[in-house]
């Protein structure tokens, strides 16, 4: 069995992390029950309840959220604990630290503190806070005081050094080929991952382009201690995402993605006509996007945001025409929709076979 520092750090069965994605409670439970790290994302609560600076009033609201934000987050974390209790599964919370979400990040950290203080099972199994999209250094004292393992997502060596300065426990090096939220500068996993491994003496996990045992073995060869997957986990039976989203991931190939300025910053999507139109609009309205020049959410055109959100709603309603579909380039290597357990078991068996058989590739 493959065991790495990721396994050791949080007593995880398999060195696989599920990327933190909106509306992923059922998926997080399935991943956790299967022996990998399931992540509940807190960002959808922030967007739905107006906890994001610059987020339009008309885009707020979610019928699933009936309680105040902190209470809703606490409720879904306890639900996730209930759904994974029998397997004694390990799980974590994904939290964006971007400037637009500072207030919500502070509140979410307080929720983690409260539930870990009041519940021994939470202290035992809610083992990770998984952060992204912001400078981790100012958050160091608050997060380290929780007594929880801290994983942070980065897109460059520069950002990895910031994460090390913040004293995180593990770094997730996220390549530009990943889906949905990506970095402003296009550094892909084959370059990013080994560069980060060389630059820091902190365990590193690869994200962006990983979907199977072959890519897990490749990540380990590049110095990583595991992989994080988003797009691959979307296309599973237990995934909370719309069936149309899953079907489109299976249908598209590796050349059929595009990037544009989205509400989450740069984003990668399957190359539908609507997504291509959003790319053209980005060229007109946010040209710095293609030059690696970040802008702020409050600077983005309200009409542009409204168009994107309407296209998301089409996807959620199962209407392909006019929809946009977040996905990484790895969609071109995804050809089925298995259960989460089938997927993870398959990845581990394949990776072990590849590693075991690797010497046979060489001429003696």
pLDDT at 49 over 80: no
Residues making up the chain, counted from first to last: 364
Q: Which residues pair with 91 in a beta bridge?
A: 38, 126
Q: Residue 292's pLDDT is what?
A: 76
C-beta separation of 172 from 17 below 8 A: yes
Query: Between 191 and 60, whose confidence is greater?
Result: 191
pLDDT given at position 362: 87
Residue 125 is predicted with a pLDDT of 97
The half-sphere exposure of 151 on its side-chain side, counting CA atoms within 13 A, is 33
Coil, strand or helix at 192 = helix
Sign of the Cα pseudo-torsion (92, 96, 101, 103, in order): positive
State the average pLDDT over residues 13-23: 93
**Among 124, 131, 135, CA closest to 152:** 131
Domain locations in the chain?
Answer: 5-241+334-361, 245-329
b/e sequence 301-324, b meaning 16+ C-beta within 10 Å: eeebbebbbebbebbeeeeeebbb
Measured distance CA(304)–CA(64) in Å, rounded: 26
pLDDT confidence band for 299 (50 / 70 / 90): low
CA dist 82 and 79 (Å) reads 5
Residue 20 CA to residue 245 CA, distance in Å, equals 17
pLDDT at 61 over 70: no
- DSSP 8-class letter at 25: H
Q: Which letter does DSSP use for residue 269 in this model?
A: E
C-alpha 198: how far from chain center: 23
For the record, the structure tokens of 156 come out as 């460059």
CATH topology for 5-241+334-361?
A: TIM Barrel (3.20.20)
Provide the token pair at 310: 């309407």
Q: Which band of pLDDT confidence, cut at 50, 70 and 90, is reported for residue 58?
A: low
Mean pLDDT of 170-198: 96
Encoding tokens for residue 191? 């370059």
Q: How many CB atoms lie within 10 A of CB 90?
A: 22
Position 152 confidence tier, pLDDT thresholds 50, 70, 90: very high
pLDDT score, position 55: 58
| Average pLDDT for 299-327 | 88
Nearest to 127 by CA among 227, 6, 308, 211: 6
pLDDT digit string, tens, across residues 103-126: 989 999 999 999 999 999 999 999
Whether the pLDDT of residue 44 is over 90: the answer is no
pLDDT in tens, 204-245: 999 999 999 999 999 999 999 999 999 999 999 999 999 999
The pLDDT-based confidence of 51 (bands split at 50, 70, 90) is low
- C-alpha–C-alpha distance, residues 231 and 178, integer Å: 8
Question: What is the band of 22 on the pLDDT scale with cuts at 50, 70, 90?
Answer: confident
Residue 347 has pLDDT above 60, yes or no: yes
- Rounded to an integer, the average pLDDT of 16-44 is 94
Task: Please provide the average confidence, as pLDDT, over all residues in the chain.
Answer: 92
Q: What angle do CA 336, 231, 323 make, to 5 degrees?
A: 95
């Amino acid at each position: 069995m493959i065991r790495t520092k990721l396994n050791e750090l949080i007593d995880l069965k398999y060195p696989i992390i599920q990327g933190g994605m909106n509306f992923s409670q059922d998926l997080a439970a399935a991943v956790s029950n299967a022996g990998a790290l399931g992540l509940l994302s807190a960002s959808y609560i922030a967007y739905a309840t107006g906890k994001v600076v610059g987020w339009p009033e008309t885009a707020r609201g979610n019928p699933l959220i009936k309680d105040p934000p902190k209470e809703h987050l606490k409720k879904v974390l306890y639900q996730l604990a209930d759904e994974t209790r029998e397997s004694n599964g390990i799980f974590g919370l994904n939290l964006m630290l971007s400037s637009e979400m500072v207030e919500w990040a502070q509140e979410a950290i307080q929720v983690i503190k409260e539930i870990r203080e009041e519940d021994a099972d939470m202290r035992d199994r809610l083992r990770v806070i998984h952060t992204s999209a912001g400078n981790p250094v100012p958050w160091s004292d608050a997060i380290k005081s929780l007594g929880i393992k801290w994983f942070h997502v980065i897109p460059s060596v520069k950002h990895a050094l910031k994460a090390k300065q913040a004293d995180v426990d593990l770094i997730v090096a996220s390549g530009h080929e990943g889906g949905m939220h990506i970095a402003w500068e296009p550094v892909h996993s084959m370059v990013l991952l080994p560069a980060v491994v060389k630059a820091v003496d902190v365990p590193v996990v690869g994200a962006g382009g990983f979907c199977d045992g072959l890519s897990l073995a490749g990540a380990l060869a590049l110095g990583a201690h595991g992989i994080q997957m988003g797009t691959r986990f979307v296309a599973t039976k237990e995934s909370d995402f719309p069936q149309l989203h899953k079907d489109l991931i299976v249908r598209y190939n590796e050349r059929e993605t595009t990037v544009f300025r989205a509400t989450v910053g740069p984003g990668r999507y399957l190359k539908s006509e609507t997504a291509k139109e959003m790319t053209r609009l980005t060229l007109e309205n946010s040209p710095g996007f293609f030059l690696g020049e970040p802008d702020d959410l409050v600077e983005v055109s309200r009409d542009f945001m409204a168009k994107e959100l309407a296209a998301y709603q089409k996807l959620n309603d199962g209407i392909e025409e006019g929809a946009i579909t977040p996905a990484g380039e790895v969609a071109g290597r995804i050809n089925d929709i298995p259960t989460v357990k089938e997927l993870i078991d398959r990845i581990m068996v394949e990776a072990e076979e590849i590693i075991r058989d690797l010497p046979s590739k060489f001429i003696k």
